[in-house]
Amino acid sequence: MSGLGGLNKTTGGIVIAAVQSQLFRVDTPSDLAAATEHVCSLVRRCRREYPATDLVLFPEYCIHGLSMSTDPAILCSTDGPEVAAFRAVCAEQKIWGVFSIMEHNKLAPKYPWNVGLTINSDGEIVDYYRKMHPWVPVEPWYPGNRGVSVFTGPGGVRMGLIICHDGMFPEMAREAAYKGAEVMLRTAGYTSPIRSSWDLTNRANAAANLMYTVSVALAGADSTWRSMGEAMFVGPEGEVLERGNGVADHIVACEVRVDEVRRRRREWGVENNLFQLGHRGYVAVKGGAGDCPYSYMRDMVVGRYVQAEDSEVVVRDGTVCGFAAPAPVYMDEVSVSSKEP
């Protein structure tokens, strides 16, 4: 059902190519420029190798590497040269692209945003997402404050983008599906110790929400780290359709047919869990129970999320990884808007 690994496309299907792009050491603006040009060259290569491709997906950190540097000299902006290059190559190749940048943050300048950008085949930014769950205590990024976004991608397919550690929280996949995502994209910079969890969560997120998941990590090594690659395409019943490896710059492609998602969500009874979450026990109760029986959800809404072992949690900030204890308090998008003149 993969269209011979993305070489063929059927009516109603789209082809997505996941690029296990090379992990670079990026310390200077010239390093950043070289990494950006490398990513653009891979967009062109993808178009040559897989002419039917509709969307090309790049990993988190595709131009920044894994240094976790917050040096302003190598941070990006949506109107900067790196994003301009991504927009230009998408328009040139008439292809959609998903890219990663570390972006300046005016709210807390020492703590940048980790951003995923989706650009259409006309070179327009159609989705902007801030990583909601930075991989603490390792990453210094400010937690995303705009929620999970869902957008209409190529072929009218509804898509959601999450980043790396986001995928370890089943609530992220459920939120994307609840808002209509038929395909969930997940980009990462993960290294090999996460391989088993990567496989498990990519498959579980698909099966629990009757949707495709398409995931890819960096590959290869810099002077310190080795990333795992491991591109994965998973179908709406949790079956692996295509799987990558650890080879840097390897492109893994697959046809995605969202009619398989739409049919299941519309017609299934058993295991239609996205619907059943809000309609518990509809055989015994008219329409099913639509309450919120989960304590953690109710507590989170009122700002008092405290797990049973909360007082015993040892690691509570980034000092174990060399970061100073943070001073900024969290501000969501509503709070930020209310402070603007």
Could you identify the residue written with the tokens 């002077």?
223
Residue 312 bears catalytic tag: no
Sheet of 125-130, strands arranged across: 125-130, 113-119, 96-103, 55-57, 13-20, 250-257
Given the residues 46, 62, 90, 164, select the one marked as catalytic. Answer: 164
Residues 6+ away with beta carbon under 8 Å from 321? 137, 138
Given the residues 40, 60, 62, 254, select the one marked as catalytic. Answer: 60
Nearest C-alpha neighbor of 209 from the set 179, 243, 250 = 179
Residue 286 bears catalytic tag: no
Task: Report the phi/psi class of residue 253: left, alpha or beta, with left for phi > 0 and alpha for psi in -120 to 50.
Answer: beta
Given the residues 9, 103, 131, 260, select the one marked as catalytic. Answer: 131
* Distance of alpha carbon 147 from alpha carbon 150, whole angstroms: 10
Amino acid at 317: D
Nearest C-alpha neighbor of 80 from the set 29, 19, 26 = 29
Residue 76 bears catalytic tag: no
Q: What is the chain's length?
A: 341
Catalytic residues: 60, 131, 164
